A and B are shown apart, each in its own frame.
Chain A
């Protein structure tokens, strides 16, 4: 029974969660002239895209690059922050056994770093992969090994992927890696083969996520704090430490929700539109009355990978020049190290100090998750020292931030479960679930925000499908959004008895590589030339009424047996027909061959380029 405070909000929109999706929904609603109340469980806004401030040291949950292909999102970012973005050059190398390797991978640099013996072995294993690749390419391990050799796979792919995902590479489907080259544009690849000055068709300089990105000088949280401020001024407050734990509904409409604060006090909020960014699983379990068993079961099966970062403050102005380092060295548990000062100098209060964010990817059930902060900080210090990045005595202090449900997991169940939940959620008239965990989709900020924009517009009776965001590729192909895909690559288990899908590039090449049918071309040219000579000869015979007309007679020099007589014309038809057939057949085959060879080279180069940057998507 409810005994707490009752709040009848003056406005009718209630938004659950003040992460990018929730705040953007509020922002878009404000543009539509509607007020809202945003309820946030935490004491900070920004969700996973928050910036934590610890004694003046600021840090993200990971590092958040601002990059979007959605023009409206770029517009919103610039509007909210009034263009206060830094453009940063990216440097992120790979650390493996006390060596730094360039990223994107460069073979020459890799070989120098590995030393002569290892390089020789890498060369042998590469040669083996080329001369006798594994026939089966079902697993991520097989896919990469066939392209780079087993040794390079072990060094540059295995450890990091397994650290991030906690799944052995021989249990991850090859589709995962193959997806990398799925969305390549062949026309871009061809263009790049000719034009290498790094410009787009319209002549703009290409700023790819690989080498440059935008970043607010005080971290991503700056964006979301600014958004919270704008909304507050508009009359749409964000109420913090309000954990939504009950959502009451009747006849397909939510009537009100219940929150509890840190003192366990309950508050009731009523409204007529509800937008939730809380994890889909939790949303389903907060519904009152509870959904049918089948839906509860599906929600229960959704899994998440958790994340924690140990931040160390170091008494040194420069530790390393990278924005972050991928840690492939298998002896340490951390997966990546962020150097926040290199994202923005304003992330540290004192330029003679550095703050490092050591990233650990875990399951909530892993024992490290439950470790005391001091033990985690000690682990971090020991690991950094073991990697020769710092001296233990340079560490001034440390802190730990845990982020539950940082990554929605795409296991063998998730697709079916999310599909069921999506259908169930469709039965509510005034409750929409959006955002990364709200849709259980591996979205970046931009796509999470777009779902917020759509949800806001839907309150005006518009019909945007929030589930279709970030599935464009599939959406167009199937005319129907599915629960699949996201901004990043999420490994899935190997499908039973289904070979790895062909790449889309292959499909694209197939669409664009239309070859001449040499036989048809030969036949057409042969027939036309043969009959042309035949009719020309007949015409002459009819016209001059005499034979031995000199006009075509010279042709007998090349066509034995040809004369300007009827049998001669037939011989000419046959000979010219065969000759022209052969020439046309040969020319079209040659053209086809050249074209195919050229596209194969482009395809190979594109694959190599894409594979070099595969860690970006992990």
Chain B
């Protein structure tokens, strides 16, 4: 392959946090809604375990909204921390760039 020199990308921690927040929020929301639609006995037994971490969350219609916020918050935090750590490592590995 024709070799091409390149620069290393820097993350915008805020943007990454936002994307992760959307992903986290919607994932939990959709997962909860899907389980509710599926119905049956003992709806969302496993997902309900998240209430250990997310106070007020449960597999109900209201819980799906609460879950959206928790998911978004967690996603935001994860995205932001990944961005910050990634940039920190990139900077320490390429001090002059």
A517-559 interface (Cβ within 8 A of B): 517, 519-521, 523-525, 527-528, 532, 536, 539-540, 543-544, 549-551
| Cβ of B9 under 8 Å from chain A | yes
Asked whether, in the complex, the Cβ of A528 is within 8 Å of the Cβ of B85, the reply is yes
Query: A523-B85, A524-B85 given as contacts; is B52 within 8 A of A514 (CB)?
Result: no
Asked whether, in the complex, the Cβ of B86 is within 8 Å of the Cβ of A520, the reply is yes
Least CB distance from B90 to A in Å reads 5
Q: Which residues of B contact A600 (CB under 8 A)?
A: 1-2, 4
Q: What's the Cα separation between A511 and B7 when bound, in Å? A: 7
Q: What's the Cα separation between A525 and B20 when bound, in Å? A: 12
Asked whether, in the complex, the Cβ of B93 is within 8 Å of the Cβ of A517, the reply is yes
Asked whether, in the complex, the Cβ of B5 is within 8 Å of the Cβ of A539, the reply is no
Query: A521-B86, A528-B81 given as contacts; is B53 within 8 A of A536 (CB)?
Result: yes
Partner of A551, one of B52, B78, B82, B93: B52
Q: Which residues of A contact B5 (CB under 8 A)?
A: 506, 509-510
Q: What's the Cα separation between A87 and B49 when bound, in Å? A: 74
B1-19 contact mask (Cβ, 8 Å, vs A): 1 or 0: 1101111110000000000
Q: Which residues of A contact B34 (CB under 8 A)?
A: none
Q: Which residues of A contact B90 (CB under 8 A)?
A: 517, 520
Query: A524-B86, A543-B52, A551-B49 given as contacts; is B93 within 8 A of A519 (CB)?
Result: yes
Least CB distance from B47 to A in Å reads 11
Q: What's the Cα separation between A511 and B89 when bound, in Å? A: 21
Asked whether, in the complex, the Cβ of B2 is within 8 Å of the Cβ of A510, the reply is no
Partner of B89, one of A515, A519, A540, A604: A519
Least CB distance from B7 to A in Å reads 5
| Cβ of A611 under 8 Å from chain B | no
Q: What's the Cα separation between A515 and B3 when bound, in Å? A: 13
Partner of B6, one of A514, A519, A597, A604: A514
Partner of B9, one of A515, A550, A599: A515
Partner of A527, one of B53, B83, B85: B85
Least CB distance from B66 to A in Å reads 18
Q: What's the Cα separation between A603 and B3 when bound, in Å? A: 11
Q: Which residues of B contact A517 (CB under 8 A)?
A: 8-9, 86, 89-90, 93
Asked whether, in the complex, the Cβ of A599 is within 8 Å of the Cβ of B93, the reply is no
Least CB distance from B17 to A in Å reads 12
Q: What's the Cα separation between A279 and B93 when bound, in Å? A: 55
Asked whether, in the complex, the Cβ of B89 is within 8 Å of the Cβ of A532, the reply is no
Query: A528-B82, A539-B53 given as contacts; is B93 within 8 A of A520 (CB)?
Result: yes
A607: nearest chain-B partner, CB-CB: B2
B52-96 interface (Cβ within 8 A of A): 52-53, 78, 81-83, 85-87, 89-90, 93
Q: What's the Cα separation between A550 and B45 when bound, in Å? A: 11
Asked whether, in the complex, the Cβ of B2 is within 8 Å of the Cβ of A513, the reply is no
Asked whether, in the complex, the Cβ of A603 is within 8 Å of the Cβ of B2, the reply is yes
Least CB distance from A497 to B in Å reads 23
Asked whether, in the complex, the Cβ of B52 is within 8 Å of the Cβ of A540, the reply is yes
Q: What's the Cα separation between A536 and B9 when bound, in Å? A: 31
| Cβ of A596 under 8 Å from chain B | yes
Asked whether, in the complex, the Cβ of A597 is within 8 Å of the Cβ of B1, the reply is yes
Asked whether, in the complex, the Cβ of B6 is within 8 Å of the Cβ of A596, the reply is yes
Most chain A CB neighbours (cut-off 10 Å) among B1, B6, B53, B90? B6
Asked whether, in the complex, the Cβ of A515 is within 8 Å of the Cβ of B8, the reply is yes
Q: Which residues of B contact A519 (CB under 8 A)?
A: 89, 93
B82: nearest chain-A partner, CB-CB: A524
| Cβ of A210 under 8 Å from chain B | no
Asked whether, in the complex, the Cβ of A509 is within 8 Å of the Cβ of B53, the reply is no
| Cβ of A226 under 8 Å from chain B | no
Asked whether, in the complex, the Cβ of A525 is within 8 Å of the Cβ of B8, the reply is no
Q: Which residues of A contact B81 (CB under 8 A)?
A: 524, 528
| Cβ of A516 under 8 Å from chain B | yes
Query: A517-B86, A521-B86, A528-B82 given as contacts; is B93 within 8 A of A510 (CB)?
Result: no
Q: Which residues of B contact A509 (CB under 8 A)?
A: 4-6
Asked whether, in the complex, the Cβ of B86 is within 8 Å of the Cβ of A596, the reply is no
Least CB distance from B15 to A in Å reads 14
Least CB distance from B13 to A in Å reads 10
Least CB distance from A542 to B in Å reads 11
A539-587 interface (Cβ within 8 A of B): 539-540, 543-544, 549-551
Q: Which residues of A contact B1 (CB under 8 A)?
A: 596-597, 600
B51: nearest chain-A partner, CB-CB: A551
Q: What's the Cα separation between A519 and B91 when bound, in Å? A: 12
A527: nearest chain-B partner, CB-CB: B85
Q: What's the Cα separation between A549 and B1 when bound, in Å? A: 53
Q: What's the Cα separation between A532 and B81 when bound, in Å? A: 11
Q: What's the Cα separation between A604 and B3 when bound, in Å? A: 11
A593: nearest chain-B partner, CB-CB: B1
A550: nearest chain-B partner, CB-CB: B49
Q: What's the Cα separation between A523 and B1 when bound, in Å? A: 28
Query: A539-B53, A551-B49 given as contacts; is B4 within 8 A of A596 (CB)?
Result: yes
Asked whether, in the complex, the Cβ of B53 is within 8 Å of the Cβ of A515, the reply is no
A14-39 interface (Cβ within 8 A of B): none
Least CB distance from B75 to A in Å reads 11
A554: nearest chain-B partner, CB-CB: B46
Asked whether, in the complex, the Cβ of B4 is within 8 Å of the Cβ of A599, the reply is yes
Most chain A CB neighbours (cut-off 10 Å) among B82, B83, B86? B86
B85: nearest chain-A partner, CB-CB: A524
Q: What's the Cα separation between A509 and B5 when bound, in Å? A: 8
Instruction: List 10 interface pairs A-B (beta carbons < 8 Å), by A numbering.
Output: A510-B6, A511-B7, A515-B7, A516-B8, A516-B9, A521-B86, A528-B85, A544-B52, A596-B1, A596-B4
Beyond A539-B52, A539-B53, 18 extra complex contacts between A and B, CB < 8 Å: A506-B4, A510-B4, A510-B6, A513-B7, A514-B6, A515-B6, A515-B8, A517-B9, A517-B86, A517-B89, A520-B8, A520-B90, A523-B85, A524-B83, A524-B86, A540-B52, A543-B52, A549-B52
A residues near B, CB below 8 A?
506, 509-511, 513-517, 519-521, 523-525, 527-528, 532, 536, 539-540, 543-544, 549-551, 596-597, 599-600, 603-604
